[in-house]
């Protein structure tokens, strides 16, 4: 039996920290589940893999259960496009947050430029989401 004090000890790193993969947009379904901005917090490779497997399992279960789920009144395409807009808005906010870091903390060389680029792209994502939302408003 494990002593309760053992449960409070910091885990010892076993390998390099896990990080986000390079994604091929044509394989987007291989990465359904949790956002990479969430998964990056699980740096232990085993923990990271466990959450990826959980996300994949949940996604597959939802696909299998689609026939028993209620149909969205807006229709399949509209609800999926609105979900994509919500993800764009999340990324817009996340990148804007990173851009704010530029003025908040001392950054290593090169990272201030990354923050600036993140802020610029946050604006671009906002414009993309605005355009999609405008089209949603135009179509019944």
User: Model confidence over 39-88: pLDDT tens digits?
Assistant: 999 999 999 999 999 999 999 999 999 889 898 999 999 999 999 999 99
pLDDT at 129 over 60: yes
Q: Distance between CA 132 and CA 12 in Å, rounded?
A: 46
- What pLDDT score does 140 carry? 80
- The C-alpha angle with vertex 117 and arms to 111 and 122, in degrees rounded to 5, equals 125
> Long-range contact list for 126-132, CB < 8 A, 24+ apart?
126/89, 126/92, 128/88, 129/85, 129/88, 129/89, 129/92, 132/81, 132/84, 132/85, 132/88
CB-CB contact of 121 with 95 (8 Å): yes
Q: Distance between CA 84 and CA 36 in Å, rounded?
A: 15
- What pLDDT score does 9 carry? 55
Q: Distance between CA 33 and CA 56 in Å, rounded?
A: 6
């Amino acid at each position: 039996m494990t002593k309760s004090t053992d449960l409070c000890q910091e885990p010892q790193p076993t390998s390099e920290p896990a990080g986000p993969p390079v994604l091929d947009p044509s394989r987007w379904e291989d990465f359904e589940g949790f956002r990479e901005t969430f998964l990056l917090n699980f740096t232990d490779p085993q923990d990271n893999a466990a959450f990826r497997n959980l996300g994949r399992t949940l996604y597959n279960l939802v696909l299998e259960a689609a026939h028993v789920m209620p149909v969205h009144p807006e229709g399949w395409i509209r609800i999926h496009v609105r979900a994509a807009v919500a993800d764009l808005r999340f990324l817009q906010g996340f990148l804007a947050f990173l851009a704010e870091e530029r003025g908040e903390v001392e950054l290593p060389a090169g990272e201030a430029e990354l923050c600036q680029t993140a802020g610029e792209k946050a604006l671009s994502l906002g414009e993309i989401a605005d355009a999609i939302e405008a089209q949603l408003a135009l179509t019944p």
